[in-house]
């Protein structure tokens, strides 16, 4: 039977050990942070510390609703550590699939065997998406397991919304890595591009919450598109999700257009 997605199959087959390692890392973060909620998240001591800090700083850190289970999970995982882990994973995958293959000579070999350039980009983008969906599926499953024992009281629909939004942010970094990889053929530059868009988006949302004069920056932050309102607390943010996923797909299309015109030698 003909393999309709040979590059996806090859990439997943070669990287499943790495995917397991990332999954173990995500599970470790969840198991480390979420069980602490009953003793930390809702404690009077933590609330006293937060009350002593400037409201702008609390908002910038995403700690304004940390006293609830959903707010604690958002602050510790989806808004910070989990976000960083997923963006790093997606950026590494995105930078390895075009720029990495280009540097190793595999891209030239694939093209010599009749694989189309647009197909190379689309299958690379699909590979990253499949990996992210698997990671977020594990994330959702672990949070559901921990929810009742540790009194998080997270609604399943909101959890799915948070997973879709965070996947979109991570996918955006991967898409930028694909585009930069198609333009430069350099893995280091592709990884830098993917990391930069995540970092810039996070910094812009932090600055927007620090000062009324900088609120306009929030309109340009993909991080804020997804997390204002907070999906884990307020549910689906359709417009924000559409913007971040749409921008990611736009970068993938850009990578395909660029690679079609590049001299691969």
Q: Provide the 10 A C-beta neighbour count for residue 253.
A: 16
* pLDDT higher than 80, residue 158: yes
Average pLDDT, the chain: 92
Predicted structure pTM score: 0.92
Q: How would DSSP label each residue in 195-210?
A: HHHHHHHHHHHHHHHH
Tracing tokens 């257009």 back to the chain, one arrives at 257
Angle of the 238-261 helix axis to the 156-184 helix axis, nearest 10: 20
Provide mean pLDDT across the span 249-262: 95
- pLDDT (tens digit per residue) in 99-128: 999 999 999 999 998 899 999 999 999 999
Which residues in 67-92 are b (16+ Cβ under 10 Å) and which e? bbbbbbbbbbbbbbbbbbbbbbbbbb
Angle of the 238-261 helix axis to the 117-147 helix axis, nearest 10: 150
- Using alpha carbons, select from 243, 244, 240 the residue that is nearest to residue 230: 240
Please tell me the distance from the alpha carbon of residue 140 to that of residue 164, in angstroms, as a whole number.
10
* pLDDT higher than 80, residue 51: no
Provide mean pLDDT across the span 142-167: 96
* Inter-residue contact 116 to 259 (CB < 8 Å): no
- pLDDT (tens digit per residue) in 165-209: 999 999 999 999 999 999 999 999 999 999 999 999 999 998 998
């Amino acid at each position: 039977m003909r393999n309709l997605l040979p590059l996806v199959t090859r990439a997943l087959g070669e990287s499943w050990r790495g995917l397991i390692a990332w999954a173990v890392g995500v599970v470790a973060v969840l198991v480390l942070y979420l069980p602490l909620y009953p003793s930390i998240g809702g404690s009077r001591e933590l609330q006293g510390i937060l009350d002593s800090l400037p409201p702008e700083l609390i908002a910038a850190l995403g700690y304004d609703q940390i006293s609830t289970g959903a707010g604690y999970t958002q602050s510790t995982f989806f808004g910070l550590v989990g976000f960083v882990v997923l963006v790093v994973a997606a950026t590494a995958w995105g930078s390895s699939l075009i720029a990495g293959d280009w540097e190793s000579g595999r891209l030239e070999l694939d093209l010599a065997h009749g694989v189309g350039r647009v197909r190379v980009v689309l299958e690379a983008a699909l590979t990253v998406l499949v990996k992210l969906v698997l990671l977020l599926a594990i994330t959702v499953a672990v949070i559901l397991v921990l929810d009742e024992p540790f009194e998080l009281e997270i609604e399943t629909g909101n959890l799915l919304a948070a997973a879709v939004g965070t996947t979109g942010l991570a996918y955006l970094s991967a898409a930028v890595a694909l585009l930069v990889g198609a333009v430069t053929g350099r893995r280091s530059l592709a990884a830098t591009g993917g990391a930069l868009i995540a970092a810039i988006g996070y910094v812009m949302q932090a600055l927007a919450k620090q000062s009324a004069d900088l609120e306009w920056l929030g309109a340009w932050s993909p991080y804020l598109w997804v997390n204002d309102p907070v999906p884990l607390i307020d549910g689906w943010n359709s417009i924000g999700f559409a913007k971040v996923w749409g921008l990611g797909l736009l970068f993938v299309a850009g990578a395909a257009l660029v690679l079609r015109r590049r001299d691969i030698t």
